[in-house]
């Protein structure tokens, strides 16, 4: 694509576009009916995008939360349902089919990618390949073509927290990082996503403050 030099000024790009090689971090958490993304049902998904302030610090931005109707024929392991406390058949659950959920969610994420002058999204998760697998499997089932997420790269906060705080469990990592964490609220996609986003931003910001990465707006 041709860009007129007189109209284009790199300094006008959102600073976040320069931080992760043009990727917009999007924190995802899924609650499921099992561990197999191909056979087990997706029950909840939440996504929190991040943004960057004038100091070059990351912070959580927008959160999107959906209850999901398990796809036809999906396996629902009773042990997984007991662990999450989710009743997929509860009459007041207000869940939507996967196609509806992912059409709306990915459209919102593409909008945030564009708003931050990024080229695509990269999934951030706690044990991220689990969440990435369920997202990609659902997108494939729904035959959605415009998927903003990188097909295989992720940022894993379990790994980052192990490096930064010596903890790989989300609750313990947050406690060590002095992020408030309520175990009674855990295993809700919305709550876990927002706490993972706080943890991710804190680690990235602390690394910057220690001199590990220059502020994108600096010379």
Asked if residues 128 and 155 have their Cβ atoms less than 8 Å apart, the reply is: yes
187 tagged catalytic: yes
Tokens representing residue 96 in the block: 């939507």
- Name which of 70, 66, 72 is nearest 45 in CA terms: 66
Buried-state track 158-184, b at ≥16 Cβ within 10 A, e below 16:
bebbeebbebbebeebbeebebebeee
> Among the options 14, 129, 150, 187, which is catalytic?
187
Q: Are 42 and 68 in contact (CB under 8 A)?
A: yes
Query: CA distances (Å), 204 to each of 63, 132, 214, in order?
Result: 19, 21, 11
What distance in Å separates the CA atoms of residue 46 and residue 30, rounded to the nearest whole number? 7
Spatial contact of 188 and 29, defined as CB atoms under 8 Å apart:
no
Q: Indicate which residues carry an active-site annotation.
A: 187
């Amino acid at each position: 694509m041709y860009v007129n030099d007189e109209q284009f000024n790199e300094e006008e790009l959102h600073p976040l576009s320069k931080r992760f090689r043009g990727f917009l971090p999007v924190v995802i958490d899924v609650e499921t009916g099992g561990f197999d993304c191909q056979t087990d049902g997706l029950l909840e998904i939440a996504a929190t995008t991040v943004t960057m302030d004038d100091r070059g610090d990351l912070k959580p931005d927008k959160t999107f939360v959906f209850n999901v109707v398990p796809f036809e024929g999906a396996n629902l392991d009773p042990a997984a349902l007991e662990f999450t406390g989710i009743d997929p058949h509860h009459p007041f659950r207000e869940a939507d089919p996967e196609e509806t959920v992912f059409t709306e969610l990915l459209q919102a994420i593409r909008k945030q990618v564009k708003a931050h002058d990024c080229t695509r999204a990269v999934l951030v998760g706690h044990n991220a390949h689990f969440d990435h697998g369920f997202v990609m499997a659902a997108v494939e089932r729904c035959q959605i073509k415009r998927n903003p997420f990188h097909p295989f790269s992720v940022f894993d906060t379990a790994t980052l927290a192990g490096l930064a705080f010596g903890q790989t469990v989300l609750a313990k990592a947050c406690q060590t990082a002095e992020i408030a964490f309520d175990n009674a609220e855990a295993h809700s996609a919305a709550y876990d996503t927002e706490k993972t986003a706080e943890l991710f931003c804190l680690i990235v910001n602390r690394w910057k403050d220690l001199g590990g990465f220059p502020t994108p707006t600096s010379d």
